[in-house]
Amino acid sequence: MTVSTKTDQILSADGMPLKKSLGRALRHQKRRALMLVAPLLIFIFVAFIMPIVSMLFRSVENDIVVNTLPQTVMALQSWNAETEELPDEDVYAAFAADIKLAAETKTHTKVGLRLNYEQAGIASLFKKTARKVKKWDIESDGPFKEKFIGVHKNWGKIEIWRTLKVHSSRYTSGYFLNAIDMRKTAGGPKAQPEDKQILLLLFQRTIIMSLVITGSCILLGYPVAWLLANVPLRKANLLLILVLLPFWTSLLVRTSAWKVMLQQQGVINDLLVQLGMVSDGARLVMINNQTGTIVAMTHILLPFMILPMYSVMQTIPPTYLRAAKSLGATDWTAFWRVYFPQSVPGIGAGSILVFILAIGYYITPEIVGGTKGVFISNRIAYSILKSLNWGLGAALATILLVAVLILYWAYDKMVGIDNVKLGG
């Protein structure tokens, strides 16, 4: 270090521009700072940026069809998918060659599964066909058209070939169309059949319920934060511990506790029945629906609302309220005109935090949400874990990510992000 500073000094005395020599001197410091944060940067890159990029990529990636059935895809190019005529013998022959090869390398099931997302039944069709085709001799056994239709009558249906052609491109918008309840067809994007339309509804529900949860967090959290900021420090610390207490118990336990509280034979219903406010026959349904999700999530996310509010309120000196009152304002006017506007940054910070957490929440809706109270993230989990449709999961997640970014941007435009204070 000393050596390098010395050389810098000599150089600058030699008539090197001051900026350049200063830059040199600082470069050393910068490099050291960079090395200090390097482990974190690498970790973030590997564990955060790369998965997100890979997710974004998966939502459009579709090379499995073209990689497994290259000759078929080529041959299909000359076939017009909008006619009512079956493809030529060329296509069937190419397909026979492709599927035989695929069956030998056992990749045919993957293609089948991929196309099965688009049209139910294709997976088993591929399996069955591959078993037969393995025994054929591609050179001499033609023509294949009749043979395929003999193996399964579906090979004589135009739908199958349309699906194959439409989803043969290397990159596809199909997953995104699926994510908004549409599908890719030979004639362009079309709406999904009524009974399959669920995702838009889920998006809508996720946003509305997240807003409701954010709103109830504001209503419940504001007075608590105010109290925290206005009682003597020792009591405030005790209260703060109570606020943070939920963080110390497992999320699963807390959510399950709500199940016990809210179910029809649960604590709250029992109490209401005993008080005679609800008749035994008409116990309230508060769990496995939206009410359950809202109640449980409001409880779980409340600390994220209270803490930023508290840290902002802490910085508002009590003299402002006194000044307002000395100027003739009633308690309410003083609060509303003077205190509240200054606490808005806290509300903003808390709201962003709670809303963004809520919109991607998974465990709580899964446990207490039933079918009516689940969020889009439950659907993402379903796509990835159960139906193994990673592309759709990735597309849904991408839309969610973009939605959050847009909301963030809108908030910045309307309120200004510098108005968000987490403290200080």
Partner 1 sequence: MTDNTAQDAFVEFEKVQKSYDGETLVVKDLNLRIAKGEFLTMLGPSGSGKTTCLMMLAGFETATHGSIRLDGTSINNIPPHKRGIGMVFQNYALFPHMTVAENLAFPLEVRKLGKSIREGKVNRALEMVEMQTFGGRRPAQLSGGQQQRIALARALVFEPELVLMDEPLGALDKQLREKMQFEITGLAHRLGITVVYVTHDQTEALTMSDRVAVFDDGRIQQLATPDQLYEQPENSFVAQFIGENNTMEGIVKEVDGDLAKVELDGGDVIACKPINVSQPGERTRVSIRPERVEFDKKRLKSGAHTLKAEVLEFIYMGDIFRTRLRVAGNDEFIVKTRNAPDQVRLEPGAQVEIGWLPSDCRALDA
Q: Which residues bind partner 1 (CB under 8 A)?
A: 317, 319-320, 322-331, 333-334, 337-338, 341-342
Sequential DSSP letters for 189-212: EEEPPGGG--HHHHHHHHHHHHHH
**Cβ closest to partner 1, residue 344 vs residue 384:** 344
Sign of CA dihedral 27, 30, 36, 37: negative
> Nearer to partner 1 by C-beta: 121 or 317?
317
Q: Amino acid letter at 71?
A: Q
Asked if residue 276 lies in contact with residue 299, where contact means CB atoms within 8 angstroms, the answer is: no
Show Cβ contacts of residue 307 under 8 Å, excluding neighbours closer than 6 positions: 243, 350
How far apart are the C-alpha atoms of 65 and 165, rounded to whole Å?
9
Nearer to partner 1, 39 or 328 (CB): 328
Q: Minimum Å distance from CB 331 to partner 1?
A: 8
Considering beta carbons, is residue 218 or 344 the nearer one to partner 1?
A: 344
CB of 345 to partner 1, least distance (A): 10
Distances (CA, A) of 102 to 64, 107, 161, 170: 11, 5, 18, 18
Which of 173, 190, 171 has the alpha carbon at shortest distance from 182? 190
5: its two tokens:
């500073």
CA distance 121 to 6: 76
Q: How far is the CB of 230 from partner 1 (least distance, A)?
A: 14
**SS3 assignment, position 185:** strand
Nearer Cβ to partner 1 (248/332)? 332
Q: Which C-beta is closer to partner 1: that of 25 or that of 321?
A: 321
For 122-172, the DSSP string reads HHHHHHHHHHHHTTS-TTTS---HHHHHHH-GGGG-HHHHHHHHHTTSSB-
Residue 104 is classified by DSSP as H
Handedness of CA 390, 391, 392, 394 (dihedral sign): positive
CA–CA separation, 419 vs 345, rounded Å?
Answer: 5
Taking the complex as a whole, the smallest distance from the CB of residue 336 to partner 1 amounts, in Å, to 11
Smallest separation, CB 206 to partner 1 (Å): 34
Nearer to partner 1, 57 or 320 (CB): 320
Nearer Cβ to partner 1 (54/326):
326
CB 354, min distance to partner 1, A: 24
Contacts of 203 (CB under 8 A, 6+ apart): 376, 399, 403
Q: Closer CB to partner 1, residue 340 or residue 409?
A: 340
Task: Tell me the closest approach of the beta carbon of residue 319 to partner 1, in angstroms.
Answer: 4
Shortest gap between Cβ of 414 and partner 1 (angstroms)? Answer: 16
Comparing CB distances to partner 1, the nearer of 78 and 333 is 333
The β-bridge partners of 185 are 188
> Nearest approach, Cβ of 374 to partner 1 (angstroms)?
41
Considering the complex, what minimum distance in angstroms separates the CB of residue 381 from partner 1? Answer: 44
- Rg (the chain; Cα; Å): 31
For residue 322, the minimal CB distance to partner 1 (Å) is 6
Between the alpha carbon of residue 91 and those of residues 73, 94, 312, the distances in Å are 8, 5, 69
Specify the residue, 177 or 338, whose C-beta has the smaller distance to partner 1. Answer: 338
User: Vertex 379, ends 304 and 163: CA angle to 5°?
Assistant: 150
